[in-house]
Amino acid sequence: MQDIDHLPINTVLDKPRNSSKIITFVNIAIVVIFLLLISNALIFPLIFSYNIAAIDNSPLVKIIKYLPFLLFIFFNPYILFKIRIKSHIDKVIILIFLFYLISSTWSPAPLSTLINSFQFGIFILFCYYLTRIRHFELLRSIRFYLIIIVIFSYVFYYLLPEFGRMHGFHEGLARGVFMQKNNLGSVLVALLPTTLTNYKKQRSYLLTSLALGLIYISGSTTSTLVAILLIASSLIIGKFNNKSIIIFLLLLFLGLAYIYLVYFSQILLYFGKSQDLTGRITLWENISEAISKKPILGYGYWGFWNSSIKMNTFAEMEWVTGKSHNAFLDVLLSGGISLLIIFILLILISFKNILSITQLDKRNFSILTFLAVLALSFTEIGLLEHNSIFFFMLYLINKID
């Protein structure tokens, strides 16, 4: 008997496969809007005139991000109570959610931690529901989202430079429909596997080339290096089809990550970039000191960044931020070694699931997505955010049929 968790949603709910084309169209539109909202792409930058502070501090933004979830439930009410927690990945994510909730008891900003924890819970619940629809439709939605951000980013960069280009310190570099150049580069890299592999017939050399062009003009060193890694990996797994190659790629990635961390100053100098990673190295050193004060349980989910404690980190710095630009450091800040162990378990389960995949295109898509998310975690915080396209993609490769 087939596992119900791996059947298309229309089969699970005793709905005909040829369900209403309108509902299918609506679901695809909802996913595209959902991705645009959680990645702060196109919609919010235009509404708030690319004012990142206004977006971060607006209660309206937080409310609007949940509209796709409500719309999805409205058009698919029969899915609301169809929750089956069988997979190990779901159990680990529930454990993470519970940890976030409990961490409000020791957080220096308990109310903020509690609210963020519930936001994470709603986000994950929506991700679960989305992965219950037919994955061909889900990947088509991701593809449409990618096409939208690529086309509009080029339009903004060349025709509306006041919107599509950075101003000030990174003058002239492409940010497209995003608030910042690194957001543009990292999101494109995270979605490159959808165009580099032929899973669900999604391969597109044209879309890949256009995405790579945007990554290049964004001037994001990390995104460029990860993109090169993904292209090389796609060529390797396309030629050699076995699990040993996947393990080799992971070990190679870890080795390259180690080399990058040890010799980053020489690498950045070669690319003509700041050897301090635009202030990130100093930030990481100061954050490490804060982590050492609460190494076991941390400061609670986003408790550090939502309290006055964070100002000690910026005492000798010329700028202030609300994140560490490194997912693993933010995990340690939020939950110390305890939360880090849970996240390592999440990563190991994801890798184990990839190794168990037998379909070639599906496995190639999964391993490239896994490598992209893992690599970006060294300079982005997507794995920890309660609305994150990176976490969504990681969850997706654990659920695709």
| Averaged pLDDT, 308-326 | 74
* pLDDT for position 2: 38
| Averaged pLDDT, 370-376 | 90
* pLDDT for position 279: 62
DSSP 351: H
User: Tens digits of per-residue pLDDT, 194-206?
Assistant: 999 877 677 788 9
Cα separation, 272 vs 40, in Å, equals 29
pTM of the model: 0.87
3-state helix, strand, coil in the chain (%, to 5): 70, 0, 30
Residue 197: partners with Cβ closer than 8 Å, 6 or more residues away: 203, 234, 361, 364, 365, 368
**Ramachandran region, residue 40 (left: φ > 0; alpha: ψ -120 to 50; beta: rest):** left
Gyration radius of the chain over CA positions: 21
* pLDDT for position 33: 95
Least confident span in 103-112, 134-143, 224-233, 377-386 = 377-386
- Confidence bin at 9 (pLDDT 50/70/90): very low
> Of 20-24, 239-243, 313-317, which has the strongest mean pLDDT?
20-24
Q: Quick one: what percent of the chain has pLDDT higher than 70?
A: 87
Q: How many residues are present in the chain?
A: 401
Cα separation, 233 vs 236, in Å, equals 5
Q: How many CB atoms lie within 10 A of CB 70?
A: 11
Mean pLDDT across the chain: 84
Burial 20-57 (b: 16+ CB within 10 A, else e): eeeebebbbebbbbbbbbbbbbbebbeebebeeeebee
| Averaged pLDDT, 94-116 | 96
- Token pair recorded at residue 203: 């391969």
Residue 100 confidence (pLDDT) above 70: yes
* pLDDT for position 338: 97
Cα separation, 213 vs 222, in Å, equals 15
* pLDDT for position 264: 60
Angle ∠(257,260,266) on CA atoms, nearest 5 = 170
Cα separation, 203 vs 143, in Å, equals 10
Specify whether the CB–CB gap between 123 and 387 falls below 8 A.
Answer: yes
Specify whether the CB–CB gap between 291 and 332 falls below 8 A.
Answer: yes
User: Tens digits of per-residue pLDDT, 130-174?
Assistant: 988 777 788 889 999 999 999 999 999 999 999 999 998 789 999
Higher pLDDT, 393 or 5: 393
Q: Where are the domains of the chain?
A: 4-397
Q: How many CB atoms lie within 10 A of CB 361?
A: 16
C-alpha separations of 63 from 13, 30, 66 in Å: 30, 16, 6
